Amino acid sequence: MSGAGSDIVRFTDGKDPDAMRTIGEVADALGLKTHILRYWEDQFPTLNPLKRSGGRRLYRPEDVALVARIDRLVNREGYTLKGARMALAGGGSAAAVPAPEPNAPLSEAVHDAGGEAAEILDRLRGIRNRLASALQA
């Protein structure tokens, strides 16, 4: 596992490095979608940006650093969300759960991803069944 120094996010907006950032600014800097950051807030209790009126999120520098670590673990090192949580909690890479193999059953990946993924899987199964029926007709 690489050190936290590789998780430094550099913004090019001219703001002070210690300035708070909106969810859009953080998402743009890391190449992520804002809905991913909101989902990660649910999955990682330590990720807790300030919330202003209307639910507007403001990320402190330590929040941005945590998002960068989660991004590295999940999107570059192949951790599952469960494994990334364990690694962040101090379990290190030995305790991390690796991502399922590409040919592993989709239900295995859904089990690690949680309820939202289960809903998506159900919808995909419905689409598959409708396609199979249309092809048999």
Query: What's the pLDDT score for residue 25?
Result: 93
| Measured distance CA(113)–CA(100) in Å, rounded | 11
What CA–CA distances, in Å, run from 116 to 44, 64, 121? 15, 24, 9
- Of 126 and 42, the one with more pLDDT: 42
Rounded mean pLDDT, 1-27: 76
So where are the chain's domains?
11-95, 106-136
CATH of domain 11-95: 1.10.1660.10
pLDDT in tens, 92-131: 544 444 555 555 555 555 555 556 666 776 777 778 878 8
pLDDT in tens, 52-101: 988 899 999 999 999 999 999 999 888 999 989 998 888 554 444 455 55
Query: What's the pLDDT score for residue 99?
Result: 52
Please tell me the pTM assigned to this model: 0.61
Whether residue 1 contacts residue 84, with contact meaning beta carbons closer than 8 Å, is answered with no
Rounded mean pLDDT, 47-54: 92
